[in-house]
Amino acid sequence: MSREAHVPFYERLAVRFLRPTHRKEAGARNLGILQSLIATCRMQGIDPYTYLVDVLQRVNAHPMRRVQELTPRLWKDRFAGEAKPSLMEMVQEMRRAESRA
């Protein structure tokens, strides 16, 4: 029998849910990184969505020794003018072109 038998089942679930776990800590850490990137983009005058779409497409082929170029501040100077569109944006553009034709 559980040592928590005197505590109602739903309360045990709530406690277990609220107890920190490795998964939740990693998720919180990752969320913090993402929020920091978004805040940095805004401070640099960069649209966070445009930045994230572009960087996620570039990161796999970008040389590791030049990874600092993908930080928001350096990305703005180097890549902002040639940001890669998202797949959704490309599909929308194709549909607009088809409707004009």
pLDDT digits (tens, 9 = 90+) for 43-98: 999 999 899 999 989 999 999 999 999 999 999 999 999 988 888 888 888 899 89
Determine, yes or no, domain membership for 91.
yes
pTM above 0.85, yes or no: no
Helical axes 22-43 vs 48-58, angle rounded to 10°: 110
pLDDT of 20 over the 90 cut: no
Determine, yes or no, domain membership for 93.
yes
Domain extent, residue 86, equals: 9-100
Determine, yes or no, domain membership for 4.
no
Determine, yes or no, domain membership for 54.
yes
Determine, yes or no, domain membership for 1.
no
Determine, yes or no, domain membership for 2.
no
The count of structural domains within the chain is 1
